[in-house]
Amino acid sequence: MKIALIRHGETRANRGGRYIGTTDEPLVSTDALRYSYPDCERIVVSPLRRCVETAKFIYPDRKLTVCSDLRECDFGDFENKSYEELKDNEYYKRWLESNGTLPFPNGESREEFETRCVRGFYNSLDGAENAAFVVHGGTIMAVMHALYGGFYEYRLRCGGMIRFEYDPVQKTAGEYIMEGNA
């Protein structure tokens, strides 16, 4: 089966370099949605507006399957804050030093987040020959980590996409193509 993992379009928080997870922001622009997105029979989206609006822009008049497990990480106390606002926070400094492995204060741990996203990905495959997942940057990194290892090397700009073939029987993924890496 062919899979496309697509990061949502740009929001105000994205433009401001803010950690935006649970905040339900709309798109401010569709300019980032400029790639040749594949035609897919199954379109799976995070329930957050930025993903739903992106999917409706790319795949108008198509049925969307909403999967709440694919929403972005809960950044807790870091939510909607920028590096500049957090750079003197001692816990933020430790979080950075840990390469993002410490849990967010009053938010999710990376392990909880990844487990939820991967569960949502597998539960959404549903036998389609090809599927597009219109989700968040963190969600894409979590799924790619489960399939290929690594984590931060799968960072995408808004509108970016990773495509690959996946064998649901063998649970293996072929080579991937990244478009719009950050």
pLDDT at 167: 93
Question: pLDDT digit string (tens) for 77-112?
Answer: 999 999 999 999 999 999 999 999 999 999 999 999
From CA 180, how far away is CA 155, in angstroms rounded?
A: 9
Would you kindly state where each structural domain of the chain is located, as residue ranges?
2-181
**Cα→Cα distances 93→17, 29, 32, 56, 89, Å:** 17, 32, 31, 38, 6
* 16 C-beta neighbours (distance < 10 Å), count: 12
Helix (H, G, I), strand (E, B) or coil at 44: strand
CATH class of 2-181: alpha beta
Summarised one tens digit per residue, pLDDT across range 145-170 is 999 999 999 999 999 999 999 998 88
